[in-house]
Structure 1
Amino acid sequence: MGAWGFGSFENDDAADWLDELGDHQSLALVRETIAAVLEAEEQLEAPEACAGIAAGELIAAAIGRPSGAARKQEELMIWISKMRPSPDAALIADAVSAIDRILGPESELRELWAETDDFAAWQADVAQLRSRLAF
């Protein structure tokens, strides 16, 4: 059974991304994920957007601004405490741009949420992530 909710980690793509994170010893996966969002041609596909949100949550947590949802992800918090990642300003700026793209008109994830009663809640959740990333 698939997981689906408007929270950052309430979907299968974010869960799969978290599983993959455990195989990495650096921010390489985070950088790749953010780059995939920014480099997507035409429409940004929903799975990439969901992974991009999860990567953004990791960055926010690593800079000391975790969400309640991130704090509940034991796997994520253990990885951060073990690896002690230090996202640079460029990665943080790219993450903000990725969130803008996810919230934008060429995002399949945005289109999918726009068709639901939870659209405003999803937008608010993602916008709140953006505000934790932006300086």
Structure 2
Amino acid sequence: MLQPSEDLEMGCWAIDSFSNDDAADWIAELTEQDDWTPVDEALATVVETIEYVEAPEAAEGLAAAEVVAAALGRPGPAATANPALVKWLARTQPRPSRQQVETAAKAVARVLAEDSELRELWAETSDFEAWRTDVEGLLARLNV
């Protein structure tokens, strides 16, 4: 498990999409609401960014894509281990549209691209391949 490190410019505890400060804050805000709007907004921010995707937006976009995958019945281990998210999914029972799933997949692909700060930060660590494999697994679970 990756520990907080001075070589990363973000708070980080592990490779999965929920284990950083930006995603943890975003999930906390999402689970206090009853609608899908934060998911759409986080994904749109990543997809609609014309140039460089900053790390905080990328982290929130990955977390939102994980929520989409979980709502499709394909949660990753981090999603099932997050009690607040599990309760939110049970309470709201979201059903993402095909377009929302496609947007989530585009956001994940954008985070994996060369012009993503989050990708750059991970590329500077020895855990880059594990992180990329995890994010590619999310893309596969979206199954677009």
Give the letter for the 2:67 counterpart.
Answer: L
Residue 41 of structure 2 aligns to which amino acid in structure 1? E
- 1:3 deviates by 3.8
State the distance in 2 between where 1:32 and 1:9 align: 17
Unaligned runs of 5+ in 1: none
Q: Matches of 1:46 and 1:117 in 2, distance apart? A: 18
Stretches (4+) displaced over 2 A: 1-5
Q: Residues 56-135 of structure 1: matches in 2 within 5 Å?
A: 56-135=65-144
Per the alignment, residue 24 of structure 1 pairs with 33
Task: Name the SS of the counterpart of 1:132 in structure 2.
Answer: helix
Asked if residue 11 in structure 1 is aligned to residue 11 in structure 2, the reply is no
Counterparts of 1:113 and 1:4, CA distance in 2: 13
Structure 2 stretches lacking a partner, 5+ long: 5-10
Please identify which structure carries the higher helix content.
1
1:93–1:134 Cα contact (<8 Å) kept = no
% same residue: 47
Asked whether the 8 Å contact 1:65–1:132 carries over to 2, the reply is yes
- Could you report, residue by residue, the CA deviation over 1:4-45 in whole angstroms, capped at 9, with x for unpaired residues? 321111100111001110232111100000000011231100
What TM-score comes out, normalization by structure 1 length? 0.96
Distance 2:50 2:25 in 1: 23
- Work out the number of aligned pairs and report it: 135
Per-residue deviation, residues 72-102 of structure 1 (Å, max 9, x unmatched): 0001110000000000000000000000000
